Structure 1
Amino acid sequence: MEFYLLLTILLLGAVIAVVIYLTITTVADKFFEKQKLDIRSKNIEITLPLRLQAYERMCLFLERISPSNLLLRLVPSAMSALELQQILLHEIREEYNHNVAQQLYMSTIAWEQINNAMNETVAAINQAALEVTPDAPPADLAKKIFAQVIDKDVQPVTHALKLLKDEIRTLF
């Protein structure tokens, strides 16, 4: 009889120990999960504005390097086609260098599209510059650049802007 009583007490003690263990681990898991969610929430509070600012800056970058905006801003300051080409390329490089850190907050696909748009714009400027003499009026180069851009089926700057806008929509 004492053996059964001792066995019952041991079994009851083991069951209570298991129940206490499961309760403590469940409570601890929920506590740690809540802490993770709080940390993630605070990170989002900090990074979301930075990400939005990065997308905003890159949209502005793409608008500023679009050939139509570049040419409207810079043609009057050039004296020759060669000088205009150099000014355009310098302006694109400066804009890019000013915004290169924004890639930290963007997807790889978005950043690749931005680089692609920039490289295609540079290629269009260089190709158009090959078609005019270096001492030609800057307006001649501008016309050639516009012709290069119009000939493309998909405008790289427009495509990159669309992709950025689509990514921003996924954040909300």
Structure 2
Amino acid sequence: MEALIEFLKYTIPGLIVFFTAYLMIKTFLDNEQKKRAIDLKTNNQKLVTPIKLQAYERLTLFLERINPEALLLRTQMPSMTVGRLQAALLTTIRAEYDHNISQQIYISGKTWMTVRGAKDNVVRIINISADSLDKEQPATMLSQRIMETIISIEKSPTQIALEILKMEVNHFM
């Protein structure tokens, strides 16, 4: 019995010291791992933030470039017909869209759907306006019809998408 008591006198304090050291080291290592995770996240944000902002800038530029008013000013040439202007407008929109399609990975899915929807609505406005005219009429007729359509709606599709894009940037920052 005395041997057992003598054994416990040395073993119990040793076990207490061991478990105390174990808990301290475990807590220290857990905290270090959390610090590393935070540092990694911070470093990733430092790398991703400029890229995300650039994506927002590029999509803003895309929406401004497919805005029917700006698009007509850049695309319409003298002596164009309705059919040629329609084709040129649709080609320009498609090229702009293809150039910026990769930006969707940096913005929310909802915002990307809004940007894509704005593009689709501009295409729809162009096609509906062109379908109501003879393809051989002067391009100014199509320009006028597109502008009348844009004026008749409260906000153009590109304006709506720009507002949503700006809201997302404000939440991001």
Question: TM-score interval w.r.t. the shorter chain?
Answer: over 0.9
Q: Quick check: 1:165 aligned with 2:155?
A: no
CA distance in 1, matches of 2:107, 2:40: 21
CA 1:91–1:78: 2 relative to 1, 3 Å:
farther
Structure 2: 5+ residue stretches without partners: none
1:1-172 equivalences in 2 (<5 Å) = 1-76=2-77, 79-172=80-173
Q: SS at the partner of 1:63?
A: helix
Q: SS at the partner of 2:77?
A: helix
Aligned partner letter, 2:105: L
Tell me the alpha carbon deviations over residues 68-124 of structure 1, each in whole angstroms, 9 at most, x when there is no partner: 110111122561011000000000000000111111111101110000000000000
CA distance in 2, matches of 1:88, 1:21: 70
Aligned partner letter, 1:85: Q
How does the TM-score come out when normalised to structure 1?
A: 0.95
Cα contact 1:78–1:84 (8 A) shared by 2 = no
CA distance in 1, matches of 2:123, 2:9: 85
Structure 1: 5+ residue stretches without partners: none
CA distance in 1, matches of 2:56, 2:65: 14
Tell me the alpha carbon deviations over residues 31-62 of structure 1, each in whole angstroms, 9 at most, x when there is no partner: 11111111111111111000000000000000
Number of equivalences = 172
Aligned partner letter, 2:138: P
Shift, 1:65, TM fit = 0.1
Comparing 112-121 and 29-38, the one that deviates more: 29-38
CA distance in 2, matches of 1:163, 1:110: 7
Shift, 1:151, TM fit = 2.6
CA 1:77–1:11: 2 relative to 1, 3 Å:
farther
Q: SS at the partner of 1:167?
A: helix
Q: Percent of aligned positions with the same letter in both sequences?
A: 34
Comparing 67-76 and 112-121, the one that deviates more: 67-76
CA distance in 2, matches of 1:152, 1:9: 88
How does the TM-score come out when normalised to structure 2?
A: 0.94
Q: SS at the partner of 1:76?
A: coil
